[in-house]
Structure 1
């Protein structure tokens, strides 16, 4: 192993000559390996000094020399445990293009600061493999500072430096210790004079010398108008999808009693499908209370209850007409419940009482027909007892049958009473299947009590 401890004076004005591509490998380089990132950054700052201009690239395109971007890329390479920087990684980390990264890595190789250990390329499955580099210090750096080394080849290590170069090495070490930051971009100032009247403009003449004073009449009025006034007739902003969800949630919390303690963001997420479909808060409440009324004292977790009640409602009532029918039936059922439990007096109560009286009169007609059949069975041709004990509806005249069907078309509860009194078979014979099915659907939508199965 050779020893080069001899004293050597630093060479003034030493340049960093470009290295041929054949000498940019670990086996052919004349430099030595930098064993730590700080020592390598010292050589980087020496080669990238803009005043000394030690390195000039040979390529006719790309940067004309090392700059702040070169220092940023070298700083990222110095922090890597294994110098294997991917071009895409450096471009993403430093927010620069991949072509710029390739240019600066090429300059570091040409200056003798980076050498290939393994050159990357395409591997199996079409995947790009990054190149593996070694951080090296060129021979020109050692000669410029009179550094004495021991060892052979790339494994040489420094053991001393010339006394005249210690001050320069100290400055380079302080630069290497500081973190390199991206330079702040400054907007170039226009070469023309300032547009505002300010003292000390860019022009040599006075800014107020050539100005024309305004008219005295304009000064006396004290009013002025801008040539392009701002438009203040701006309407309300349109809510986006998220805003519409939170608006619906806030309306539900403010108007629905059993949701007053719920969280607005949670309600907005639960009712998101309804809000996206354009539902109103009344329709959401109607869909939630369709299965039965909800007491605020019983809802310990309102958001969970709302999620359970609204499951699949946006698909069941997808059209506007279906939601309108559902809301109308729900409002009618709440009105009837209020009339039944609180005795509320109003136009709705009068209509409900009228329907009730009509149904009662119709039931009296049926009872009278039953009694007539029981008393004078001989006078009713074909009147027989049903196996289950009910009255045979064949005793009713055509006018009475049409009257029953008219009542059934007006009030679904009348159909329910007939189903309870006559049974499913005779009630459908009397009222037809269409009227019975229609009444059952309306009863299922309006009543809060389960419809009995017949």
Structure 2
């Protein structure tokens, strides 16, 4: 970095004044270069000194903005062209923070600028020596981003240009802790002007359109025009000497009475926005996709951890067709579940392929949702029955007998009690002894009775109740239970009960 000459040095050429100021205002005689490399943008390697407060730091910011020593386009071909009002506005926001730990999202929200623009101006403040990293922020995938911790600095060019004398009070302390002890007489007037600017409230820069309009209006006024442009419009008043002297009373038009409230003034009731519903902005097509994607990631287990934009792209067809989260979950239930999912977005793309064409009406989607809810209710009741059976079997005071013959008698007794509670279907039946079960049992049932037993067992199984078939299996054995209720029903009941006892299987979840 080049050295900086004092203000009174005769060999230095004065720098150009910033836009909107006279040529002799804030002119500082220094060498035409002010730039700090990346290696010097850390607090431990910085050549500047720490600003004592935000007011003193804003003095340095206004000095850099008015000196014209820093040209961003000399080091890059993109970004802002100069250290202007927007950079000063960002610096004003930073001067209010204690500690100076601004996040990019916070600065975007405070300044109204884009994320890229905020990053550009932070880089400009570092390259001019006004900011230095104490801790640099991190952005790790899958973790929350950490904001950078900055230290407000005053570059050595600022001290040299104004003749500020500094001293290091503690010789063991770093050089950036030196404090100002005085100022040369030549820099007092400039320091006073910088103090007024630092105390002034910095407003948000206007848009390019309004700036161009103001520049054109000022140019017309300089050429001798009779109208003075004031921020997008002319102020017609006889109080100013430069105002338009022509009267506009002949062209005055009053608003119609339909637009006036009682008393001759306009109604102050705010109009409701057409694009908002219930105080919220109505979602567009892309917003609907992202909404459905976020809800699916939250409710579907094998979609946890997937990217919302990717799931939104996969579910774009059903989202555009007006599907809701409940309808998508019902469709996934109808398609079945996978035991092992390696890539959730790929499986979702396969399951949703052509869904909006198959279930193409709201009535079909409503019927699909009702079927899904019925299956959920059946699974819930099945879980309740299993919990009750497990509690009766393992958590009661009664211990099951170890003899197989006694177990069959107990199961038969329990079955009769259940049947009597359900309506007394078998209350008149006489329990046969153990040695008479084989010849006098189910082999003597007629085909009509077996058919009725099977229909009743299938109806209970469809509602989630497997007590009847389980009692037959435990009391009579699987071969006789298959002869009464059929091999298929007995096989399904045994699969369901064996899966319910496993810790690797849960019922009623998507």
Task: Provide TM-score, normalisation by structure 2.
Answer: 0.35
Higher Cα Rg, which structure? 1
TM-score between the two structures when normalised by the length of structure 1: 0.39
Q: Which has the higher contact order (CA 8 A, sep 6+)?
A: 1
